[in-house]
A = this chain, B = another copy of it.
Amino acid sequence: MDLKYMKLALRYATEAYKKNEVPVGAVIVKDGNVISYAFNKKECNQSVLEHAELIAIRKAEKKLNNWRLNGCDIYVTLDPCPMCAGAIKQARISNVFSALQNSDVLNTDLLNKIFSTDKTNPEVNFYTNICPFESKKLLSLFFKMKR
């Protein structure tokens, strides 16, 4: 784990904020190289599939020309949702580093289940609440502005 990648993910989360999107960013790293990065574009592109994590996975798959992202880690500024967690698992990403834990305990429970070993995919190591303050501040600002 290297905090410089989380800082990069937070920079992309700020880009989402500027575009009036829920501020979440993601960076995929392999062997010390940034393979892909993204920020949430759900409203802009009118698609639930435009979460930062899914865009980053799509870009990484394209770059490596392979759906198997073995040996890759993903840095996210907020715990993934079940959809993104399922994609991370199936893409065989090794480690998930999340800046901020989701306040919904049901989400945490689901993530632990999704990330554990199943019939076809290995376990994903999940580390959360690594550096919550900046991400929390950004999300609070966003939701304050919206309400």
Contact = CB atoms under 8 A, between A and B. Distances in A.
Interface of A: 42-43, 46-49, 54, 57-58, 61-62, 65-67, 81-87, 89-91, 104, 106-107, 109-110, 113-114, 118-119
Contacts of A90: 48, 81, 83
Contacts of A48: 57, 61, 67, 87, 90-91
A30 B82 CA distance: 25
28 contacts: A46-B65, A47-B57, A47-B61, A47-B62, A47-B67, A48-B57, A48-B61, A48-B67, A48-B87, A49-B49, A49-B54, A49-B58, A49-B61, A82-B82, A82-B89, A82-B110, A82-B114, A83-B86, A83-B87, A83-B89, A83-B90, A84-B86, A85-B86, A86-B86, A104-B118, A107-B118, A109-B113, A110-B110
A119 B113 CA distance: 19
Interface centre among A54, A82, A89 (most CB of B within 10 A): A82
Contacts of A104: 118-119
Nearest to A87: B83
Copy total for this chain: 2
B82 A85 contact: yes
A47 B42 contact: no
A114 B110 contact: yes
A111 to B, nearest CB: 10
